[in-house]
């Protein structure tokens, strides 16, 4: 049904942004550096880019939460894999991450209750 329920948030030293696919642009959400809150591993605060995949369940119709969990997780997997392919082609390093304090991050990002953090993904430069 082409719900397009996943929003990609981009955390960098310059702030937190939401990717707008139609205009291929980044919309500023927060001006502060929230990278450290996107995960529980020490490298997350140092990598140049942290992606946070957020499913907006209010765009997913009236199905069960079980269905919404399944489809939003699958859709995030496809998107994350595309990031892996792009990073491989550009010589960048990446890791998808499930170890996220979702409650704390949702608070930092000021998300609505229907917005669920699925996964995060670090993008950076490989160790020399
Ligand atoms: C759903 C999912 C969640 C993951 N969560 C984490 C994580 O929280 N932290 C982390 O360092 N790696 C995480 N990984 C990455 C795997 O640990 C990693 O891909 C695996 O060790 C293989 O390493 P490679 O990608 O370098 O081949 C996750 C992978 C998947 C698929």
In this predicted structure, what is the pLDDT of residue 100?
98
Question: At residue 34, does pLDDT exceed 90?
Answer: yes
Ligand 1 binding site (Cβ under 6 Å of any ligand atom): 41, 95-99
Q: For residue 78, how far is its CA from the centre of ligand 1 (angstroms)? A: 15
SS (H, E, C) the chain: CCCCCEEEEEEECCEEEEEECCCCEEEEEECCCCHHHHCCCHHHHCCCEEEEEEEEHHHCCCCCHHHHHHHHHHHHHHHHHHHHHHHHHHCCEEEEECCCCHHHHHHHHCCCCCEEEEEEEEEECCCC
Higher pLDDT, residue 6 or 128: 6
Distance (Å) from CA 61 to ligand 1 centroid:
31
In Å, what is the CA distance from 89 to each residue of 15, 82, 84, 93, 103? 26, 11, 9, 10, 34
pLDDT at 71: 97
Per-residue pLDDT for 128 more than 90? no
Q: How many A from CA of 98 to the centre of ligand 1?
A: 8
Output the pLDDT for position 85.
98
Which one of 81, 83, 96, 101 would you pick to mutate in the ligand 1 pocket, going by the greatest count of ligand atoms within 8 A of its CB?
96
Residue-wise pLDDT for 63-117, tens only, equals 899 999 999 999 999 999 999 999 999 999 999 999 999 999 999 999 999 999 9
Closest atom of ligand 1 to 80 CA is 31
Share of the chain above pLDDT 90, in %: 98
Ligand 1 atom nearest the C-alpha of 95 is 15
Atom of ligand 1 nearest to the CA of 40: 8
pLDDT score for 125: 97
């Amino acid at each position: 049904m082409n719900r397009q329920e996943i929003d990609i948030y981009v955390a960098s030293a310059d702030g937190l942004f939401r990717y707008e696919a139609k205009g291929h642009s980044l919309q500023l959400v927060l001006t502060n550096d929230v990278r450290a809150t996107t995960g529980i591993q020490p490298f997350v605060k140092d990598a140049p880019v942290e992606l946070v995949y957020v499913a907006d369940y209010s765009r997913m119709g009236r199905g069960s939460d079980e269905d919404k969990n399944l489809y939003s997780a699958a859709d995030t997997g496809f998107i994350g894999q595309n990031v892996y392919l792009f990073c491989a082609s550009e010589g960048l390093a990446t890791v998808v991450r499930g170890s996220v304090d979702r409650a704390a991050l949702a608070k930092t990002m000021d998300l609505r209750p229907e917005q669920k953090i699925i996964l995060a993904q670090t993008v950076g430069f490989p160790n020399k």
